[in-house]
A and B are shown apart, each in its own frame.
Chain A
C-alpha cells in the first residue's frame, strides 16, 4: 500500500528511542511495537517507570480525532470505556513532525486468543461484560464502530474485557468512521452504516460467531440466511442462537436488552429456547418478514401461557369447592 509509505517511515522508531513532546516536554522511551492499524502505530513505552501505550501517526487529524473521543470518554463517570488518556503532544523529528498521544497500557491477550486458551465457557461472561461497557458508551452518545476481537483485550485476573482503539468511534447519528467488513452490518446487507446502538450490537453478535470460527468465513450469499446457517453448524453457538439472530436483525434497542437476554442464557446451563425474547418482539427491525414469523412464535407462547394459567386457576377453584363441600 503505497499511501502508507510516508506513514511507515515517519512513525517507525526503534526500541530505545526517546520521544520528547514539543508542548508538554514529557519524555517517553520506546520499549517495543504493540501493533499497527490504518491510522498509525502503537508502541509500548516507559515514562518514569510507568508502562504506557503510545500511538503515533503522521496524520495529525486522526490522532486529534481519537484524542477527542478519549477526552469525552473521560467525562463519563464510573466506567472504563476506553484506555484512559495521559498525554497528547507533537514530536519534532528531522524528517518532519509526528503527532502522538499516550494512554494507559491495557495488558492481556485479545478476545479470541483468550477464549482459545481458556475455553468457550468464557464467551458468555465476556460478551456480557462487553455489552455492559457498550451500554454506557451508547448512553454517552457514542457508537464504538470498529468493534472486533482485535480491539478487545482481556485483562486480569480477575478477567475483564476492555476496548482499545477508538479510531472508529462515532457520534450517534453520523456515518460510521471506520469499520471492518466481517463485523459490518452494511457488508452483510443487514442495515445502514449510520451510527446507532444496533450497529455495535450487530458487531457483537458477529464476534460471538467469530469465537466459533476463529478464521472467520467468506461471504457467499451474504445475507441473514448464510449467517443463520453458520450459527446452526456450531454447537457452542446454538446456545446463543436467539440472541445472535435478534442482534443481527437489529431487534435490540439497547445493549442492556441484549445483555439481559445473554445473561439469562448464560445462567441457565441447559439449552433453553426463547426465554429471553420478551422485549425483542416490540422493537422495530429492518426485516419485516422475519419479524412476523417471530411474532407468531411469541403469540403461540402466550396462548400456551394463558391456557396454563386458566387450567391452574380452575384446578385451585375445584380444590377450594371440594374443601368447602367436605
Chain B
C-alpha cells in the first residue's frame, strides 16, 4: 500500500485571528491539497473565549485534523498526542479507501466484524510507524503568547523526540506569526530534528496582530516548494544521528 508522505500543519495559538483571510477557509484549502491542519489552543490562567474556541474547532474541522485546548503545563503531551492522533486518522482514511475498493460500496473499517477489524488495525499501526511525515509548525507570537513561548519550545522538542522514535522519516519546519516585517516569518526550514530550535526561540520577539489565515496560506506555499539540496543532506544527517544514539 502506497501512502506517500503525510503532511500536517500544527497551529499553536491562544486566541482569535484578527487580520487577513479567514483561517477556516485557508484550512479547507489545505485539506484540498492533502494537508491536515491540527490546532492546539494554549491557556494559562486565562480562558479562551467562545469566539476563539469556535475558530479553533472550525480550523481543525475544515482542515480535517484534530483540535484540543489545554493549559500550558500539559502542552508537551498534547502536542505529540494530537499529531499521532491526526496521523492515525489520515491513515485510517487511506486504509478505508482501499477497503472500499476491495469490498465495494461505502464499507469502512468500523463495519467489519471485530476480528477482521483487528487485522486491518495492524496494517494501520504498521503504516503509522513507517510512513514519512512532514509537520509544519505555526506558532502564534502575538503579545499574549510571550510567557508561553518557553513551554511551546519544550513541547516542540518533545514532539521531535516522540516522532523520531518511529522508523519512518520526519521533517519539521517552524513558522511564526506575526513576523518581524511580514505577517509570517520562517524560523526553521525543513529539518529532521528540532534541536536547533533552542537557540532561535530565545531570540523571538512577540507582539502585534494575529494573522492566522495568512499564516496558514503561507504554510501551504512552503509545502509546495521543491525541496532544496540542503534538506536532502539533512535527511542523511538523520540516519547518522539515529546510528549514534
Q: Measuring CB to CB, which residues of chain A are less than 8 angstroms from any residue of chain B?
A: 1-3, 23, 38, 60-61, 64-65, 67-68, 71, 88-90, 97, 99, 171, 173-177, 181, 186-187, 192-195, 286
Which of B53, B118, B245 sits near A2, CB closer than 8 Å?
B53
- Residues of B near A38 (CB, < 8 A) are 81
Answer whether residue B92 sits at the interface, using C-beta atoms and an 8 A cutoff: yes
- Residues of A near B227 (CB, < 8 A) are none
Given the contacts A3-B67, A67-B114, A61 and B162 also touching, CB distance less than 8 Å: no
* Contact status A68-B165, CB under 8 Å: no
Given the contacts A1-B70, A65-B121, A60 and B110 also touching, CB distance less than 8 Å: yes
Given the contacts A186-B158, A192-B245, A176 and B165 also touching, CB distance less than 8 Å: yes
* 26 A/B residue pairs, CB under 8 Å, sorted by A: A2-B53, A2-B68, A3-B67, A23-B113, A23-B114, A38-B81, A61-B88, A64-B118, A64-B121, A65-B121, A67-B114, A88-B114, A89-B114, A99-B110, A171-B125, A174-B166, A175-B165, A175-B166, A176-B165, A181-B76, A186-B165, A187-B76, A192-B161, A193-B162, A194-B165, A195-B165
Which residues of B in the span 212-245 have a Cβ within 8 Å of any Cβ on A? 245
Q: Measuring CB to CB, which residues of chain B are less than 8 angstroms from any residue of chain A?
A: 53, 57, 66-70, 76-77, 81, 84, 88, 92, 109-110, 113-115, 117-118, 121-122, 124-125, 129, 158, 161-167, 245
- Residues of B near A181 (CB, < 8 A) are 76-77
Closest residue of chain A to B130 (Cβ to Cβ) is A174
Known: A65-B121, A67-B114, A192-B245. 16 other contacts (CB 8 A): A2-B68, A3-B67, A60-B117, A64-B114, A71-B118, A90-B114, A174-B129, A175-B129, A175-B165, A181-B77, A186-B161, A186-B162, A187-B76, A193-B162, A193-B165, A286-B245
Closest residue of chain A to B82 (Cβ to Cβ) is A3
Closest residue of chain B to A189 (Cβ to Cβ) is B161
* Contact status A192-B164, CB under 8 Å: yes
- CB B167 to nearest CB in A, in angstroms, measures 7
Q: Which of A3, A71, A174 has the most CB of B within 10 A?
A: A3
- Residues of A near B165 (CB, < 8 A) are 174-176, 186, 192-195
* Contact status A68-B129, CB under 8 Å: no
* Contact status B158-A187, CB under 8 Å: yes
* Contact status A64-B166, CB under 8 Å: no
- Residues of A near B167 (CB, < 8 A) are 173-174
Given the contacts A181-B76, A193-B165, A61 and B121 also touching, CB distance less than 8 Å: yes
Closest residue of chain B to A175 (Cβ to Cβ) is B165
Determine the distance from Cα of A171 to Cα of B130 in the docked complex, in whole angstroms: 13
- CB A22 to nearest CB in B, in angstroms, measures 9
Determine the distance from Cα of A243 to Cα of B79 in the docked complex, in whole angstroms: 33
- CB A62 to nearest CB in B, in angstroms, measures 9
Closest residue of chain A to B71 (Cβ to Cβ) is A1
* Contact status A67-B118, CB under 8 Å: yes
Given the contacts A1-B70, A60-B117, A97 and B110 also touching, CB distance less than 8 Å: yes
Determine the distance from Cα of A279 to Cα of B78 in the docked complex, in whole angstroms: 39
- CB A87 to nearest CB in B, in angstroms, measures 9
Closest residue of chain B to A177 (Cβ to Cβ) is B84
